[in-house]
Amino acid sequence: MTNDRVNIGELDTLVTVYSVTISSNERGAKVYTPSFHSRVYAKIEQTVDESVNNTNLESVYSATATVYKIPGLTTRWQIEIRGVKYSIEAVNPISRISPFCELSIRRIEA
């Protein structure tokens, strides 16, 4: 069970949120165009996978970011933390009445 209580004092990292529109080019390939949406404070918690299996042969940074809910936020959007962009893998609304949501994020490899 997820704790729906968030201490706003823990929202100590300023992140940039980008909405992403998907279009296609002349050859039909998808083109992802990020657009600045807002700068918000977040609580960042690093996720560490300590199991030994084929999925962790290459270290991939993933984390959970807790932010105030943003209308229209989807897994197509991206966030930037200290100059590094992350894709949003999942959005957990915590509860219907909570003003916060948890974002499962993963670093976008350049």
Ordered by start, the domain boundaries in the chain are 8-50+58-107
Angstrom distance (rounded) from CA 56 to CA 39 = 32
Residue 1 has pLDDT above 50, yes or no: no
**Parallel, antiparallel, or unpaired: how do β-strands 78-81 and 100-107 relate?**
unpaired
- Residue 20 confidence (pLDDT): 92
Residue whose token pair is 């940074």: 61
Angstrom distance (rounded) from CA 6 to CA 3 = 8
The pLDDT tens digits of the residues spanning 46-67 come to 876 666 665 555 556 789 999 9
| Selection from 22, 18, 8 nearest residue 38 by Cα | 18
Angstrom distance (rounded) from CA 26 to CA 5 = 48
Dihedral sign, CA of 7, 82, 62, 71? positive
> 8-50+58-107, which class in CATH?
mainly beta
Q: What is the pLDDT averaged over residues 94-99?
A: 89
Least confident of 38-42, 51-55, 76-80: 51-55
- Residue 47 confidence (pLDDT): 75
pTM across the whole model? 0.79
Angstrom distance (rounded) from CA 59 to CA 72 = 31
